[in-house]
Chains A and B, each alone.
Chain A
Amino acid sequence: MARADAPASAPALSGRQRLVARLLADGLVVAAILGWWAMAKSLPASVLPTPAAVAEQVWLLFTDSVYLGHTAASVLRVILSVALALFIGGLLALLPAALPWAHGIVHQRIKPFLNSFPSIGWAILAVIWFRVSDFTAIFVQVAILIPFCLINISEGLKELDREALEMARSFTRSRIKIFFKITIPLLLPYIVGALRIAYGVAWKIALVSELFGTGTGIGYLMGEAQQSAKPALLYACCFAIVLIFFAGEKLVLDPLSRRVRR
């Protein structure tokens, strides 16, 4: 199964074709910005603010102390939620390996239940249960992310090299030693895969938790921008998410993937 965040592979092109490809790709970005600018001139700012107004708001999101607080709150929540989801999803995936009778509980009950539970359902129920708080936002994000981590790590366990495990068993009887020295290193590519998917879903879908569950964060700012008719801020929040998402991928996830592949 392909992931929506799988890296793109470059086809083999001649020098001239490469130039055309680059012109088309960058030309599309320039054309999109010019088209946006032209449309913004003929549409009211409440519908489509100019690219300059949005760029200014994006800059504020990363420099103004109040906005930066919201941006930092979202980033910290995503990091914490992804870490917790990875831990809980990993434990659930490993449970059937330790207790074989728990396979049905994990894969036929917990996994389908969490996987099909609507994200907005978690958001609204969590606000009713825990009120508006940081805990609520993190709870919702973790609940949404767990099935993605569980599925990916379970796939990894299915693909584990049985011969490597068999050989490890012939060297030692210590299950803890085998777990940390063999199972975890073999699982690492799948753990990083789970991390990548959870990180993407956290920014794309799980941010809904901030729209209802808390008074801080980019999701909250988006709701505020919509209610108080500040379209430039709403657009800026969307682009800030794209920028943070790319930064996380390029600075953390890609190097981590390369290291694991080595």
Chain B
Amino acid sequence: MSAASTIAATTATARRADRADWFAAHAFTLLVIAAWAYAATQIPPIALSGPWTTVKALGAFLGDRNQLAHMVYSLMHVGIAIAISFFIGNALAFLAHYAPVTALMVHGRISPFLNAFSGIGWALLSLLWLGANHLTVIFSISMVLIPFALVNMKEGLATVDRELIEMGRSFGRAGFKRFTRIVVPSLYPFMFATLRIAFGVAWKVALTAELIGGGSGFGYLFDLARQDYRTPILFVVILLIILFVYCADRFGFEPIQRRLQRHYGTR
């Protein structure tokens, strides 16, 4: 058999496998929706909101400005907390890197402590300190995210290409220019990875923080729905969060990160 026919046969087999994979994934989705619909006919609506009821509740949710406002509040909490934790985590990592005497303090004391502290603990304590408001929610989420940003940037700084910096020095780049033109661009993939991880974790923590310590956001809606046994609202909020996280990751973070990895040659 010639090389060309071998390649053609391999490509055909790969294509068949891709088609089987695609078909199985879609069949699985349909099967799950059918099982969900069937289960909803057998279980009281208070325990399980069926697919159609959830879609109708989603329509009503999207048409209600008050409820949409809670969605905006949650997005705001997550966005601000990511920005704050990104700044503080990165600042601590830079401090430890450029002033090595502080490395033990940052990586041996602050980072392990923040890393071991419970998310619910931050939410309950900040409720005690700051009362039920936006600040409590943002503070709780930020405290959980800081160690992720710190450790990711520490890894990034440890892998910055020494030869590249050396070359910059030999071309006469001044300290600050070397930092902004060589070090910072090399860290883009790590910064981006931090944002991607932070986005996923933030949603896991945000709802708990809003439920415990805030009077707004998806978590607050969740609490109201739980108390009034409005199960469809619970399902709508869960569905919206799954859509947010999935779409942001699949159509936003993933392609950008792939491009950054290709451009900077990192994994």
**A→B interface (CB under 8 Å):** 1-6, 8-11, 13, 17, 20-22, 24-26, 28-29, 46-48, 100-105, 108-109, 112-113, 115-121, 124-125, 128-129, 144, 200, 203-205, 207-208, 211, 219, 222-223, 225-226, 231, 234-235, 237-238, 241-242, 245-246
The distance in angstroms between the C-alpha atoms of A20 and B218, with both chains bound, is 47
The verdict on A121 contacting B121 (CB below 8 Å), with A24-B102, A105-B25 known, is no
Cβ 8 A contact of B152, one of A1, A116, A234: A1
The verdict on A4 contacting B147 (CB below 8 Å), with A119-B208, A120-B208, A245-B116 known, is yes
The verdict on A115 contacting B245 (CB below 8 Å), with A4-B115, A13-B100, A21-B105 known, is yes
Q: Which residue of B lies closest to A104 (CB)?
A: B25
Q: Which residues of B in the span 12-30 have a Cβ within 8 Å of any Cβ on A?
A: 17, 20-25, 28-29
The verdict on A1 contacting B128 (CB below 8 Å), with A24-B105, A241-B118, A246-B112 known, is no
Provide a sorted-by-A list of 9 A–B residue pairs whose CB atoms are within 8 angstroms.
A4-B151, A6-B154, A26-B109, A100-B17, A104-B22, A112-B246, A205-B119, A245-B116, A246-B112
Return B244 CB to nearest CB of chain A, in Å: 8
Complex contacts, B242 vs chain A, CB 8 Å: 112-113, 116-117
Return A89 CB to nearest CB of chain B, in Å: 16
**Cβ of B107 under 8 Å from chain A:** yes
The distance in angstroms between the C-alpha atoms of A12 and B158, with both chains bound, is 13
Complex contacts, A29 vs chain B, CB 8 Å: 109
Q: Which residue of B lies closest to A219 (CB)?
A: B120
Return B200 CB to nearest CB of chain A, in Å: 7
Complex contacts, B104 vs chain A, CB 8 Å: 10, 21-22, 24-25
- Does the CB pair A116–B207 fall under 8 Å? no
The distance in angstroms between the C-alpha atoms of A208 and B29, with both chains bound, is 29
The distance in angstroms between the C-alpha atoms of A146 and B207, with both chains bound, is 19
- Does the CB pair A102–B152 fall under 8 Å? no
- Does the CB pair A28–B205 fall under 8 Å? no
Per the CB 8 Å criterion, the residue count for chain B at the interface is 75
Complex contacts, A1 vs chain B, CB 8 Å: 152, 193, 197
Cβ 8 A contact of B101, one of A8, A13, A125, A225: A13
**Cβ of B86 under 8 Å from chain A:** no
- Does the CB pair B110–A28 fall under 8 Å? yes
- Does the CB pair A9–B116 fall under 8 Å? no
Main SS of chain B's interface residues?
helix
**Cβ of B148 under 8 Å from chain A:** yes
Contact code string B91-130 (vs A, CB < 8 Å = 1, else 0): 0000000001111110111111101111111001101110
Return B252 CB to nearest CB of chain A, in Å: 13
The verdict on A112 contacting B250 (CB below 8 Å), with A9-B158, A237-B121 known, is yes
- Does the CB pair B238–A118 fall under 8 Å? yes
Return A68 CB to nearest CB of chain B, in Å: 19
- Does the CB pair A25–B109 fall under 8 Å? yes
Task: Identify the interface centre among B113, B121, B158: most chain A CB within 10 Å of its CB.
Answer: B121
The distance in angstroms between the C-alpha atoms of A85 and B45, with both chains bound, is 29
Task: Report, nearest first, the 10 A-B pairs whose CB atoms are least far apart.
Answer: A104-B25, A116-B245, A8-B107, A2-B155, A238-B121, A245-B116, A25-B105, A25-B104, A101-B20, A11-B100
The distance in angstroms between the C-alpha atoms of A116 and B201, with both chains bound, is 9
- Does the CB pair B121–A10 fall under 8 Å? no
Complex contacts, A17 vs chain B, CB 8 Å: 100-101
The verdict on A109 contacting B28 (CB below 8 Å), with A4-B115, A119-B204, A124-B222 known, is yes
Cβ 8 A contact of B207, one of A118, A222, A238: A118
The verdict on A120 contacting B118 (CB below 8 Å), with A10-B103, A246-B112 known, is no
14 additional A-B residue pairs with CB within 8 Å, beyond A6-B151, A104-B22: A2-B151, A2-B190, A13-B100, A28-B109, A47-B128, A104-B21, A105-B25, A118-B207, A119-B205, A124-B222, A129-B47, A204-B116, A205-B205, A222-B120
The verdict on A109 contacting B25 (CB below 8 Å), with A10-B103, A203-B118 known, is yes
Contact code string B231-253 (vs A, CB < 8 Å = 1, else 0): 10010011001101110011000
Return A28 CB to nearest CB of chain B, in Å: 5
Q: Which residue of A lies closest to B24 (CB)?
A: A101
Cβ 8 A contact of A222, one of B17, B124, B238, B245: B124
Complex contacts, B17 vs chain A, CB 8 Å: 100-101
The verdict on A125 contacting B118 (CB below 8 Å), with A28-B109, A117-B242, A205-B204 known, is no
Complex contacts, B47 vs chain A, CB 8 Å: 128-129
**Cβ of B82 under 8 Å from chain A:** no
Return A51 CB to nearest CB of chain B, in Å: 15
**Cβ of B139 under 8 Å from chain A:** no
Complex contacts, B154 vs chain A, CB 8 Å: 2, 6, 8
- Does the CB pair B120–A208 fall under 8 Å? yes
The distance in angstroms between the C-alpha atoms of A124 and B229, with both chains bound, is 11
**Cβ of B144 under 8 Å from chain A:** yes
